[in-house]
């Protein structure tokens, strides 16, 4: 069992100089260490900010700062916690931290403060993981989802499922204990129906992972097209900065460029590729080959088409490749600020089964016409989710998805064994495993190795 009976310390603010830096301590000696650093601190004033002078053991003044003492159990970790906010000089912060170590604390490991919060029961494991996701969030939507999970949304969703499953297990255990209460056909059907309802609710949760994975990890989006259709301009417009070189000379982009952006609140890895056409230029051929590779690796492919020119064979050949490519694709008719010679119907008739109005967008990279509409609907069109109003509980983490999938499998096995006439003990084995898997999600049943893997991904000081 994990025991945290010592005192840890760490700098909780990012490395580098700044206006303020924060040093955090947690453990039984936290307040003793604070008293030695700031002799005039009032140890009776808990959960209150105090202006203190900080000294080294020789009595040399180091800095003036704010100290807050959070007395257990009313603290983040459930232990005595001290936070010292001082000037954000790297020297001052490292000096105070060094003194904390000299006075009995040890250096905190990544995520150890949050692990102590979990071990003390202040938060469950899904909430602990949400802390990490909240720190890593890059978009408003990611922040909103992480905040919801931090408040226990996933735990609340799973709790009634665990309670219902436990009631079924107790019922079956009673049938095993008292032979005269063997289950009849009607009882088995009733239990199977209850279990099927639990499976339905868990499958709904598991199905959300495709969307949740996109929200958390982002979408790899490849922009392809023949030369001079405006790919680099479109790339720059989505980025809102001049990252790719734009000229009127076909073939300017010889290699793929990748940048981070946000579309509709979802992080996107944008890839600007070389123009695809027939060429004898060796360097350009290499760039085109990389464009094809980007299409294969992408989660979503955008083919840009110059709407001011008639469709040509290169457009159609690339369109065929997009259709044959495993990733979903959208067609972007660019240069809407000019007279249009390409209409949506011209593209739809190429393959009505795969091309609809839903995956066609008309924009102008030059004037930004249609860009807002594209950003609002592009991702949601392909994942059948409205990101702006989505309020369902989502699975964002691969660990959660794996455990829920395992739970569903065990429940299905349990139902099958009951219907096949096996004894209650056989079905109970599967149901107990299902309950254990659900407990691993929130940390009710877990092992130290798993905790180590999870909290190792945290930053030090959190």
- CA torsion 286-292-297-299 (nearest 10°) is 140
Per the DSSP assignment, residues forming a β-bridge with 271 are 222, 258
Answer with the residue of higher pLDDT: 282 or 23.
Answer: 23
CATH class of 214-383: alpha beta
Q: Measured between alpha carbons, how far is 81 from 26 in angstroms, rounded to an integer? A: 4
Region 161-171: what's the mean pLDDT? 89
The model's pLDDT over 184-210, given as tens digits with 9 standing for 90+, comes to 555 778 888 899 999 999 999 998 888
Q: Are strands 266-272 and 61-70 parallel, antiparallel or unpaired?
A: unpaired
- CATH 3.30.1360.120 range(s) for the chain read 8-123
Whole-Å CA distances, 18 to 66, 89, 90, 461: 16, 7, 8, 17
Question: What are the tens digits of pLDDT across the range 267-295?
Answer: 888 888 776 766 656 666 777 778 778 88
Residue 170 has pLDDT above 80, yes or no: yes
Angle between helices 209-217 and 185-207 (to 10 degrees): 20
Report residue 301: phi and psi, to 5°: -110, 130
- Asked if the model's pLDDT at residue 259 lies above 60, the reply is yes
| CATH 3.40.50.300 location in the chain | 214-383
* Alpha-carbon span 412 to 404, nearest angstrom: 12
Query: Which token pair is 26?
Result: 């947690």
CA–CA distances in Å: residue 379 to residues 17, 223, 224, 375, 396: 39, 14, 17, 8, 17
Residues 6 or more apart from 249 whose CB is under 8 A from it? Answer: 228
Residues of each domain in the chain carrying CATH 1.20.120.430: 131-208+395-443
Q: pTM above the 0.85 mark? A: no
| pLDDT value of residue 2 | 55
> Residue 83 is inside which H or E element, if any?
strand 81-88
**Is the CATH code 3.40.50.150 the one for domain 8-123?**
no
| pLDDT tens digits along 397-441 | 899 999 999 999 999 999 888 888 777 788 889 999 999 999 999
The pLDDT mean for the chain works out to 85
- Tell me which residue has tokens 């490292």: 94
- The burial of 167, by beta-carbon neighbours within 10 Å (0-12 exposed, 13-18 middle, 19 or more buried), is given as exposed
* CATH fold for the domain made of 131-208+395-443: 1.20.120
Whether the pLDDT of residue 255 is over 90: the answer is no
**Count of C-beta atoms within a 10 Å radius of residue 181:** 13
Cα–Cα distance, 435 to 166 (Å, whole number): 8
Radius of gyration of the chain (CA): 29
Could you give the CA distance from residue 78 to residue 139 in angstroms, rounded to a whole number? 31
pLDDT digits (tens, 9 = 90+) for 357-408: 888 999 998 899 998 888 888 777 766 554 444 457 888 889 999 999 999 9
Query: How many residues can be counted in the chain?
Result: 462
Quickly state the pLDDT bin for 216 (edges 50, 70, 90): confident
pLDDT digits (tens, 9 = 90+) for 56-80: 989 999 999 999 999 999 999 999 9
Q: CA 454: distance to chain centroid?
A: 14
Angle CA 25–155–129, to nearest 5: 40
**What's the pLDDT at 223?**
87
| 83 bridge partner residues | 24, 68
Distances (CA, A) of 7 to 25, 51, 68, 81, 105: 7, 23, 16, 9, 5
Q: Report the distance separating Cα 151 and Cα 448, nearest Å.
A: 24
> What does residue 122 show for φ and ψ, rounded to 5 degrees?
-70, -35
């Amino acid at each position: 069992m994990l025991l945290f009976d010592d005192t840890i310390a760490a700098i909780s603010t990012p490395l580098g100089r700044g206006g303020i830096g924060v040093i955090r301590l947690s453990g039984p000696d936290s307040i003793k260490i604070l008293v030695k650093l700031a002799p005039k601190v009032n140890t009776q004033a808990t959960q209150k900010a105090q202006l203190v002078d900080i000294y080294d053991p020789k009595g040399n003044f180091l800095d003036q700062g704010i100290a807050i003492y959070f007395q257990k159990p009313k603290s983040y970790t459930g232990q005595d916690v001290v936070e010292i906010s001082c000037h954000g000089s790297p020297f001052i912060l490292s000096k105070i931290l060094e003194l904390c170590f000299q006075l009995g604390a040890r250096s905190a490991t990544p995520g150890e403060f949050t692990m102590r919060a979990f071990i003390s029961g202040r938060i469950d494991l899904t909430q602990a993981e949400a802390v990490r996701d909240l720190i890593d969030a890059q978009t408003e939507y990611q922040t909103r989802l992480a905040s919801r999970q931090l408040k226990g949304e996933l735990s609340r969703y799973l709790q009634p499922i665990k309670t219902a499953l436990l009631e079924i297990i107790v019922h079956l255990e009673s049938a095993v204990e008292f032979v005269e209460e063997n289950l009849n056909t009607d009882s088995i059907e009733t239990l199977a129906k209850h279990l099927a309802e639990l499976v339905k609710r868990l499958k709904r949760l598991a199905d959300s992972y495709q969307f949740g994975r996109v929200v958390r990890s982002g979408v790899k989006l490849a922009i392809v097209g023949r030369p001079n259709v405006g790919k680099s301009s479109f790339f720059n417009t989505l980025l809102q900065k001049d990252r790719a070189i734009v000229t009127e000379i076909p073939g300017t982009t010889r290699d793929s460029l990748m940048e981070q952006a946000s579309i509709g609140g979802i992080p996107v890895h944008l890839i600007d590729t070389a123009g695809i056409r027939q060429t004898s230029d060796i360097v350009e051929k290499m760039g085109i080959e990389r464009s094809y590779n980007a299409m294969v690796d992408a989660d979503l492919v955008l083919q840009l088409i110059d709407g001011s020119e008639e469709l040509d064979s290169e457009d159609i050949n690339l369109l065929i490749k997009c259709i044959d490519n495993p990733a979903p694709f959208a067609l972007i008719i660019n240069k809407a600020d000019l007279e249009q010679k390409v209409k949506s119907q011209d593209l739809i008739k190429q393959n009505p089964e795969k091309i609809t109005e839903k995956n066609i967008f008309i924009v102008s990279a030059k004037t930004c016409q249609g860009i807002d509409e594209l950003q609002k609907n592009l991702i949601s069109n392909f994942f059948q989710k409205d990101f702006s109003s989505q309020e369902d509980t989502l699975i964002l983490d691969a660990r959660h998805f794996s455990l829920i999938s395992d739970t569903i499998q065990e429940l299905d096995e349990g139902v099958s064994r009951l219907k096949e006439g096996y004894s209650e003990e056989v079905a109970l084995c599967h149901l107990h495993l299902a309950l254990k898997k659900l407990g691993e999600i929130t940390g009710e049943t877990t092992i130290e190795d798993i905790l180590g893997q999870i909290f190792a991904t945290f930053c030090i000081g959190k």
